[in-house]
Amino acid sequence: MPVPRVRFCPAPSGWLHVGGARTALYNWLWARHTGGVFVFRIEDTDATRATPESMRGMIESMRFLGLDWDEGPEVSGPYGPYVQSERSDLYAAVSAKLLAAGAVYDAYETPEELEEQRQAQQRAGRPPGYAGGHRDLPDAQREAFLAEGRQPVLRVRTPDDGVVTVSDAVYGPVEFAWKDVADFVVERADRTHTYYLANAVDDLAMGINLVARGDELLSATPRQQLLYGLLLRDNLLDDALADNGYPARPPDAVPPSFAHLPLLVGEDRKPLSKCHGSVAVDEFRRQGYLPDVLVNVLALCGWSPGAAEERMTVDELVERFSLERVGRNPAYFDTAKLRAFNGDRIKELDDAELAERLQPYLNAAGLLPEVATPTQQRLLLGLAPLLRERIQTLAEAVPLVAFCFREVVELDAAAVAKHLKGRAGEVLDIAADRLAALGEWSGDAILGVFDGMAAELGLGRGKVMQPVRVAVAGTAVSPPLPQTLALLDRDVVVERVRAATARVAA
RNA sequence: GGUCCCGUCGUCUAGUGGCCCAGGACGCCGCCCUCUCAAGGCGGUAACGCCGGUUCAAAUCCGGUCGGGACUACCA
């Protein structure tokens, strides 16, 4: 039994979104669960779409999620390079051999002609697909096309009849009839190579023995399997590898088996794509979701631990994950559940850890410098326990505590209108005096002041504390007031309370 | 149009002939608690797409039907 070798191979265009991340995660979980190898490969064979920024973003998002790879960009490995644009000589050598062996043939239709053919087929109520028009072209015709300046593509000759069975770890055996599989392109007119070729060559060359990928590729699997057979026949691939200075395949390499994963869909039930708003992994990071929680919830999209608890650490996921329990129906990525799980995980963080995690978000909001002063760090540490119960994401802490880090606060108009009226002026005057005179600057002592005032003035706590809250925080919402005030500089608090009296409506 | 896949509460799912008048989680609703916002406690809402069949018994098996999706690219 060879050691499992799995891979994640995104095309670097756009951001890594949760669908891709889920595919990456399942491969990673399987590798870690079985003690196998997780390969990360960049499939940038389509130069018109691939961008270096996207590749960097993918790598960053993978690192953020904690999906470390054993072989791939930045870590290298024995079967590299792991970026397909650096392997084009290999693909060229393979397709030349395929042509020499008669497995592929040159076809000269222009994209426009093909499009026209498809439309004609559609109109006639026939399935669109390459009809095999340029199979077995007479030499004279071929030369005539060349003389016209046409550049051929290379197409694989697919069987005309018979069936092929794909044994899928998730779907079980799925049968396809070869007559439904049209001759497909492996080499474009510009001599670059398509996904089919590059992907099959690399999976074989890198000894990948299990391909877990999105459901949308299930019907492409017969083509893939056909290519495996072609590449392995007469040592075609092995020779190409040796001729071009690539490492030989692992000695125990076997063609991969498959596991197709149900698609992740958006709220509209359409498959996820770049068009869908905030589904990029990086966007979830910016919003303050913890990577472990993202991993947890992603794992639950399509896989179930059975009757066991759904909230799991990454280690528990690795231990329990299995392909057998991957489902077959498309899942909607539920951000409400993500929020809930995230909030729960935040509650498990201790003060120091929470403060540390919060810091980058305060940095990004311009509330803290890159390197916080000891005073700022103490303040944040003191705020942590007050924040823990009331934030679902790390970014949600920012508006709640911004007033603690600013020199001046602007009073929210709606909050002023609602709370700085009636007896608020009287309340603020007394509060300012008593807070200024308070012996011990602590949460309990401050609460004592408010309670005393409430009793004397015959007001509820709310009537006393809300005006003060608005005065100091500028908003009607903040962490618990007495404890928060205790963390701030007393002079600042008193000054803000006095200043606010001017804003009280007559 | 063709091929393939899928169909359990709003969502993700558990469920492989009786343990299911269907369980969990998230959401939602109500009550309690409360200095705001939360959190917490308690309670509640809600699903086997439909029609036939097999069987003593079906969410589970079979047939059909309807609905959704993928593929059908010189994208991956």
CB A21 within 8 A of CB A61: yes
Q: CA nearest A57: which of A20, A84, A82?
A: A20
pLDDT digits (tens, 9 = 90+) for A350-402: 999 999 999 999 999 999 999 989 999 999 999 999 999 999 999 999 999 99
For A60 and B70, how far is CA from C1' in angstroms?
Answer: 29
Which pLDDT value is given to residue A308? 80
A463 tagged catalytic: no
Given a cut of 90, whether residue A123 has pLDDT beyond it is no
**How confident is residue A503, by pLDDT bands cut at 50, 70 and 90?**
confident
Percent of chain A with pLDDT over 70: 97
**How confident is residue A238, by pLDDT bands cut at 50, 70 and 90?**
very high
Torsion angle in degrees (nearest 10) through CA of A126, A127, A128, A129: -120
CATH topology of domain A413-503: Arc Repressor Mutant, subunit A (1.10.10)
Q: Per CATH, the architecture of A351-398 is what?
A: Orthogonal Bundle (1.10)
Looking at per-residue pLDDT, the higher value among A2 and A443 belongs to A443
DSSP 8-state secondary structure symbol assigned to residue A442:
S
Protein residue with the closest CA to the C1' atom of nucleotide B70: A216
For A209 and B63, how far is CA from C1' in angstroms?
Answer: 39
On whether the A5-80+262-337 domain is CATH 3.20.20.140, my answer is no
For A322 and B67, how far is CA from C1' in angstroms?
Answer: 31
Given a cut of 70, whether residue A278 has pLDDT beyond it is no
Which pLDDT value is given to residue A490? 94
Rounded to an integer, the average pLDDT of A90-103 is 96
Shortest CA to C1' contact from A480: nucleotide: B35
**How confident is residue A506, by pLDDT bands cut at 50, 70 and 90?**
low
For A173 and B62, how far is CA from C1' in angstroms?
Answer: 20
For A442 and B38, how far is CA from C1' in angstroms?
Answer: 22
SS3 string, A347-416, reads HHCCHHHHHHHHHHHHHHCCCCCCCCCHHHHHHHHHHHHHHHCCCCCHHHHHHHHHHHHCCCCCCCHHHH
Rounded to an integer, the average pLDDT of A434-438 is 93
Of A275-289, A407-421, A475-489, the range with the highest mean pLDDT is: A475-489
Protein residue with the closest CA to the C1' atom of nucleotide B39: A389
Rounded to an integer, the average pLDDT of A47-71 is 94
Given a cut of 70, whether residue A188 has pLDDT beyond it is yes
Q: What is the mean pLDDT of chain A?
A: 92
Shortest CA to C1' contact from A189: nucleotide: B74
Protein residue with the closest CA to the C1' atom of nucleotide B8: A329
SS3 string, A321-354, reads CCHHHECCCCEECCHHHHHHHHHHHHHHCCHHHH
Given a cut of 70, whether residue A491 has pLDDT beyond it is yes
**How confident is residue A266, by pLDDT bands cut at 50, 70 and 90?**
low
Given a cut of 80, whether residue A268 has pLDDT beyond it is no
Q: Residue ranges of the alpha helices (H) in A127-213? A: 139-147, 195-205
Q: Is the dihedral of CA A111, A113, A116, A122 positive or negative?
A: negative
Shortest CA to C1' contact from A186: nucleotide: B74
pLDDT digits (tens, 9 = 90+) for A11-41: 998 889 999 999 999 999 999 999 999 999 9
Rounded to an integer, the average pLDDT of A282-289 is 93
Percent of chain A with pLDDT over 90: 78
DSSP characters for A465-501?
Answer: HHHHHHHHHSSS--S-HHHHHHHS-HHHHHHHHHHHH
* ipTM value: 0.92
Shortest CA to C1' contact from A475: nucleotide: B36
Shortest CA to C1' contact from A271: nucleotide: B69
- What span, in angstroms and rounded, lies between the C-alpha atoms of A394 and A61? 18
**How confident is residue A233, by pLDDT bands cut at 50, 70 and 90?**
very high
For A322 and B72, how far is CA from C1' in angstroms?
Answer: 32
Which pLDDT value is given to residue A362? 96
- φ, ψ for residue A389 (rounded to 5)? -80, -15
Shortest CA to C1' contact from A476: nucleotide: B36
Given a cut of 50, whether residue A50 has pLDDT beyond it is yes
Protein residue with the closest CA to the C1' atom of nucleotide B74: A188
Q: Count CB atoms within 10 A of the CB of residue A259.
A: 19
pLDDT digits (tens, 9 = 90+) for A316-325: 999 999 999 9
CATH among 3.40.50.620, 3.90.1170.30, 3.10.20.30, 3.40.640.10 for A87-261: 3.40.50.620
Which pLDDT value is given to residue A504? 77
Given a cut of 50, whether residue A274 has pLDDT beyond it is no
Q: Write down the domain spans for chain A.
A: 5-80+262-337, 87-261, 351-398, 413-503
Protein residue with the closest CA to the C1' atom of nucleotide B75: A46
Q: Residue for token digits 């390969």?
A: A39
pLDDT digits (tens, 9 = 90+) for A320-349: 999 999 999 888 888 899 999 999 999 999
Which pLDDT value is given to residue A307? 75
For A229 and B51, how far is CA from C1' in angstroms?
Answer: 46
For A375 and B2, how far is CA from C1' in angstroms?
Answer: 70
DSSP 8-state secondary structure symbol assigned to residue A103:
S
Q: Could you check whether A351-398 and A413-503 share the same CATH topology?
A: no
Which pLDDT value is given to residue A279? 81
- Computed on alpha carbons and rounded to an integer, the radius of gyration of chain A in Å comes to 32
Given a cut of 70, whether residue A275 has pLDDT beyond it is no
Which pLDDT value is given to residue A421? 86
Given the residues A179, A270, A274, A347, select the one marked as catalytic: A274
- What span, in angstroms and rounded, lies between the C-alpha atoms of A250 and A79? 9
For A187 and B1, how far is CA from C1' in angstroms?
Answer: 29
Which pLDDT value is given to residue A36? 96
Which pLDDT value is given to residue A263? 85
Q: Is the peptide bond before A81 cis (omega within 30 degrees of 0)?
A: yes
Protein residue with the closest CA to the C1' atom of nucleotide B25: A310
Q: Which nucleotides of B are covered by protein (CB under 7 A)?
A: 1-8, 10-15, 24-27, 34-40, 68-76
Shortest CA to C1' contact from A341: nucleotide: B26
